[in-house]
Structure 1
Amino acid sequence: MPHILIVEDEQIIRLALKRLLVKHGYQVSEAGSVAQAQQFEASQFDLIITDLRLPGEPGTEILKTAGAVPVLIMTSYASLRSAVDIMKMGAVDYIAKPFEHDEMLQAIERIVNQKSLSAQAQPAEDVENDTGIIGKSPGMLALFNKIRKVAPTDSNVLIQGESGTGKELVAQALHKLSKRNQGPMICVNCAAIPETLIESELFGHEKGAFTGAVSARTGLVEAANGGTLFLDEIGELPLEAQARLLRVLQESEIRRVGSVQSQKVDVRLIAATHRDLKTLAQEGQFREDLYYRLNVIALKLPALREREGDIYEIAKVLLARRCKRMGIEPMQFTDSAKHALLNYPWPGNVRELENAIERAVILCDDAKITADLMGIEDSLEINQATESNAQQDASLQEYFTQYVLQHQDSMNETELAKNLGVSRKCLWERRQRFGITRPKKS
């Protein structure tokens, strides 16, 4: 069972986060300051989560004594720009407050899995390889071959695939197998940063460049100097930021917002998207010259439903990892569960499979995982359910589409999400699902 230390001075937040992690199978210790945290032996933890602003010393002081233990920094949006400096100091990642539970759990799972991948992967010795990705299907074997060929180069790479297929895992494999693997790998989800902040976050800014810029800040591109910059969902990048990124690729230099001086950077760019960038370029929503710069090497990640030979192997590995994390005896799938796993279409891909297994392990009363515990049924039953709900789904889509198109020119994303009663992340996901793109500013 992974052991996590939470360092947070606000007791309500600390206890809420502790309950969340304990519920999902983690052992948790807590501290209210750096001084209290340093009373623990850091090596006993698999991960330390600390707030940036703490009474006394800041959370970054923990980086000095954490050793090989990864440190995840929590920071408010007001201080988000300091995240670059945090990453340079040795933090494995940062997360903006307030955060959604799923966002925090996914970050923790990714970090803990990376730390103990070799120990956790023992059920899959024959399916996991030097890329760290599970798969034996023809499509995945071809992908692994391309990764090994491309990784040692400095060529730009565009990873394409549906949401939940594991595009970030491919980016991590490219970095791990590259000559830059001792340098930083900075991962950025372009859809998760507000348009008003994206240029400053990526390229940095000078003091006084805009209201609230009380000091100069380093951008994420600069923070990736000597390493790899991974831009996920690059199709959501505003046109102004696209122009700046093009300069990085053409001239290997950046210019901070509000500056007249340029500076050289040495960055290998890996981008990912589930959208058709070529079509977006033809429609004027993505720069055509940037598209061709990115598309030097294109890697297509197949959907899970196209990896029939891998589904059950992935499921077994995920089940073993989940049991180990929760500190319980190994479980097995029943024959009917295996049949359901292989026949379900997995529209949410590996991410949906992982969530289904987590749910089943939590609800299971013995060592047998059944299809109903995973919440999936054979594709025939799914199709019948889909038909019965089609009218309701169509009504929801019609209302959502009409409201967004009617108000998106007069409201920002935060206002739209609030009026629709959803989070910004949910708004973005529904835009992708329903094909409602926000017009890019020219």
Structure 2
Amino acid sequence: MSRILIVEDEAIIRTALRRLLERHDYRVSEAGSVAEALELDPQRFDLVISDLRLPGEAGTELIARAAPIPVLIMTSYASMRSAVDALKLGAVDYVAKPFDHDELLETVARALHQQAARSTEPPDITEPGGNAQPMIGSCAAMQVVYTRIRKTAPADVTVLIQGESGTGKELVARAIHQQSRRAAAPLICVNCAAIPETLIESELFGHEKGAFTGASAARTGLVEAADGGTLFLDEIGELPLDAQARLLRVLQEGEIRKIGSVETRHVDVRLIAATHRDLRALSRTGEFRLDLYYRLNVMQIDLPPLRERDDDILEIADILLDKACHRHGREGLRLSRASRRTIHDYPWPGNVRELENALERGVILAEGHLIHPDDLGLSAPPRPLAAPPPSPDRGADEPGDAEEDLSLEDYFQHFVLEHQDQMSETELAQKLGISRKCLWERRQRLGIPRKKSPRRSAG
């Protein structure tokens, strides 16, 4: 249910507008001036509807202060000049009073739809070199990720990113930091698995001179270095228990104490953690502190593996290929049709990182203008039963491909119909080598209904 803030100094108009919107299932709050609207924090809403003429500041003042929330301007002075001026300042649209109810509702719905579409656009990420580029992918699972990033970034809470190795957890952390209020402060990235267990407490929390053998000088830890900014701890499941206890104190009290010191120091750090492991399961075996898990898991973002992003694989491959060609001075290389099929059907256990490495190999080994499957060096078997990717240059008169697709679909239909009474959906998907989502999609496309398994007796 969308939340709308009405800013109007005339109580009769404000009440009538609120009732109209509430009858159409909008949640509405009211303010009589720009000052009152700012007290309600317009960024908490999905749309602001403001009169142009208000006591004190004009309604157009909210356009910048509510950004990126859209502002719809109302005016009883239905001149094109005031409307154009409002649009130039960034208003999403305008309506003239007295307004037609249907027209107003249509304008509100359109503004909310446009805002929702913008909200799910991939966030831009500034790389260490200074280049800004959006995250890649538009599948449904990534749309959820983008929405969670947009909502989480300004909240300044701890975030736990979960996903397989190579799915881009650090990119998500960068996107959150760069869209947060701490964007101007440092982002410190630490891979907990890459630091020896004997040194990790010193690296994170620092030490005093003489605290242990080899500590010839005092050292500032990475937590303190991130003061005022964001600390990203990748592979936090590898953090030793002693370091976990120290990190818990940072989250609870905002304090650190260097190794060998009796003094504590206050730090203001936002923590983003990432892992490919099940931290709750690790807590049951005593490998991870349950209280730390609860502190970390305020907001959770789950990254899908590449094999579940069928719609994105080839788009990602094309972008990574362009970068690899540029690095090696081989502009103009492209993937053959067979290579595109191989890339689409391969299960990618190493996710985007493995795809990037395969394309790098292909650019180096290709001898013509095309990269062939052998150049990619993929050793694992391709994912079975994956649908072939759409190809713009693929003709309709290629019977070989059609026959192959038909045989795969026949096999799929035969296998599901024969085994669905004895297997669960998860077991069927595992046997076929596909995800449950892919199994459901193929059922829909081929018209194979899902049979409900009979209830098993408790005895």
What is the CA-CA distance between 1:165 and the residue it aligns to? 0.8
1:378 is matched with which residue? 382
What corresponds to 1:214 in structure 2? 216
Where do 4+ consecutive residues of structure 1 move more than 6 Å? none
Instruction: Give the whole-Å Cα distance in 1 for the aligned partners of 2:225 and 2:324.
Output: 34
Residue 417 of structure 2: aligned partner: none
Write the letter of the residue equivalent to 2:129: K
- Give secondary structure in 2 for the equivalent of 1:298: strand
Aligned partners of 2:193 and 2:145: how far apart in 1?
Answer: 26
How many Å apart are 1:358 and its aligned residue? 0.2
Q: 1:335 aligns with which of 312, 334, 337?
A: 337
AA at the equivalent of 1:211: T
Task: State how far apart, in whole Å, the 1-side matches of 2:171 and 2:385 are.
Answer: 32
Question: What corresponds to 1:278 in structure 2?
Answer: 280
Structure-1-length-normalised TM-score: 0.57
- Residue 237 (structure 1) aligns with: 239
Equivalent in the alignment of 1:170: 172
Is the contact between residue 204 and residue 219 of structure 1 (CA under 8 Å) also seen in structure 2? Answer: yes
SS in 1 for 2:212: coil
SS at 1:291's partner residue?
A: helix
Encode CA deviations 1:111-167: one digit per residue, 9 max, x unaligned: 99642644xx6xxxxxxxxxx310111000110010011011210000000011111
User: Is 2:330–2:363's contact at 8 Å kept on the other side of the alignment?
Assistant: no
The equivalent residue for 2:129 is 115
- Within 5 Å, which residues of 2 pair with 1:331-410? 331-376=333-378, 378-380=382-384
The aligned counterpart of 2:203 is 201
- Give the equivalent residue in structure 1 for 2:89: none
**Equivalence for 2:185:** 183
**Separation (CA, whole Å) in 1 of partners of 2:178 and 2:225:** 18
Aligned match of 1:288: 290
Aligned match of 1:314 in 316, 330, 349?
Answer: 316
Write the letter of the residue equivalent to 2:307. Answer: R
| Partner secondary structure for residue 300 of structure 2 | strand
8 Å CA contact 2:182–2:228 kept in 1: the answer is yes
Q: Which of the residues 255, 258, 275 maps onto 1:253?
A: 255
Q: Which amino acid aligns with 2:348?
A: W
Structure 2 CA distance for partners of 1:356 and 1:334, relative to 1, 3 Å: same
RMSD of equivalent CA atoms: 1.9
Q: Give the residue type in structure 2 aligned to 1:139.
A: A
User: What is the letter of the counterpart of residue 178 of structure 1?
Assistant: S
Are the equivalent residues in 2 in contact too, given 1:231–1:271 (CA < 8 A)? yes
Post-superposition Cα deviations, 1:172-229, rounded to whole Å, max 9, x if no partner, equal 1111111111111111111111111111110011111111112211100000001110
Offset of residue 378 of structure 1: 3.2
1:39-188 to 2 correspondence within 5 Å? 114-115=128-129, 117-118=131-132, 132-188=134-190
Deviations 1:42-79 (A, max 9, x none): xxxxxxxxxxxxxxxxxxxxxxxxxxxxxxxxxxxxxx
Q: Distance in 2 between matches of 1:208 and 1:259?
A: 10
Are the equivalent residues in 1 in contact too, given 2:200–2:243 (CA < 8 A)? yes
Higher relative contact order (CA 8 A, sep 6+): 1
For 2:361 and 2:256, how far apart are their aligned partners in 1? Answer: 45
Q: How big is the shift at 1:336?
A: 1.1
User: Residues 286-313 of structure 1: CA distance to partner in whole angstroms, max 9, x if unpaired?
Assistant: 0110000000001000000011100000
AA at the equivalent of 1:238: P
Structure 1 unaligned blocks of 5 or more: 1-110, 122-131, 383-442
- More deviation in 212-221 or 348-357? 212-221
Aligned residues: 260
Matching residue's letter, 1:115: G
Per the alignment, residue 326 of structure 2 pairs with 324
1:192 aligns with 2:194: yes
- What residue is the counterpart of 1:108 in the other structure? none
Say which structure is richer in helix: 1
Report the CA distance between 1:335 and its aligned residue.
Answer: 1.3
Name the amino acid aligned to 2:193. Answer: A
Q: Do the aligned partners of 1:324 and 1:330 also contact (CA within 8 Å) in 2?
A: no
Contact 1:203/1:222 (8 A) holds in 2: yes
Percentage of matched positions with identical amino acids: 62
Q: Give 3-state SS (helix, strand or coil) of 2:190's partner.
A: strand
Give the SS at the match of 2:154.
Answer: coil
Q: Which has the larger radius of gyration?
A: 2
- How far the C-alpha of 1:328 sits from its partner, in A, is 2.2
User: Aligned AA for 2:309?
Assistant: R
The one-letter code matched in structure 2 to 1:188 is V
Contact 1:305 1:346 in 2 (8 A): yes
Distance of 2:220 and 2:164 partners within structure 1: 32
Q: Name stretches of at least 5 consecutive residues in structure 2 with no aligned partner.
A: 1-124, 387-459
